[in-house]
Amino acid sequence: MNLKCLRQLGASWRRSTINKMNNRSDFIVISDMVAPNSRILDVGCDDGSLMQMLQESKTVNARGIELFPDRVNLCLAKGLSVVQGDANKDLAMYPKNSFDYVILSKTLQSMLQPKETLEGLLRVGKRAIVSIPNFGHWKVRLYLAIHGQMPVTPSLPATWFNTENIHLCTINDFLELCKNMDINIIKSVALDKNGKVLNFANRLRSVNLIGEQAIFLLEKNNHG
């Protein structure tokens, strides 16, 4: 492959990443939570779009771990540093405070033990960024009430018997878990179906009702 082809391929990847970023408001929120020149680990990094965007916008030193080989290959084709692995087991292999941020984007609900996963994120990283789909959204509640079945929605597109999502929770559930685990929530942002930011302040009940997803910046509480 000649230099011209490589440049064209690189430009195509960049356009693809920008398009995905424009379609993923959560990526922009996550980027705002990351300091420039940080070391990050993206757990369940999919095709590497978030990693690539953070490298370009925040000049981060990014690493990724992804379960599925085809997605790992997509990342490697983009020149990203990604390994194939199962975060349910492999987070334990990383040393303490190896990264400034460990990111888990819309993946917590598919982990075998979400509580242990959060503990692992905050052991490996000085801070963690976690995003979750909100199972407390009013459309989910209405679907359950009317149909008496697990909902299939744009944010939860798979049927109950064919989904990776095994630990669905609401925004309130996640807040309670952080409280029980003594995790400090530095920043929290909810997004509606259009990607519009919803303010948490004094609106917890409504945010849990109309927020389709939420993103949290977390750190361990230090007691002396």
- Counting the structural domains of the chain, the total is 1
Each residue's pLDDT tens digit, 141-192: 998 899 999 888 777 788 888 888 888 899 999 999 999 999 999 999 999 9
Q: Residue 84's domain spans which residues?
A: 21-219
Whether the Cβ atoms of residue 39 and residue 100 lie closer than 8 Å to each other? yes
> What is the pLDDT, as a whole number, of residue 14?
44
What pLDDT, on the 0 to 100 scale, is given for residue 164?
Answer: 82
Residue 5 lies in a domain: no
Q: What are 76-128's pLDDT values in tens digits?
A: 999 999 999 999 999 999 999 999 999 999 989 989 999 999 999 999 999 99
pLDDT class of 206 with cuts at 50, 70, 90? confident
The residue type found at 66 is: E
The verdict on residue 192 lying in a domain is: yes
User: Does residue 59 register a pLDDT over 60?
Assistant: yes
Q: 204 to each of 32, 134, 143, 208, how far by Cα in Å?
A: 22, 13, 22, 6
**Residue 2 forms part of a structural domain:** no
Please name the helix (run of DSSP H) or strand (run of DSSP E) that holds residue 126, with its range, or none.
Answer: strand 125-133
We report the CATH number of the domain holding residue 187 as: 3.40.50.150
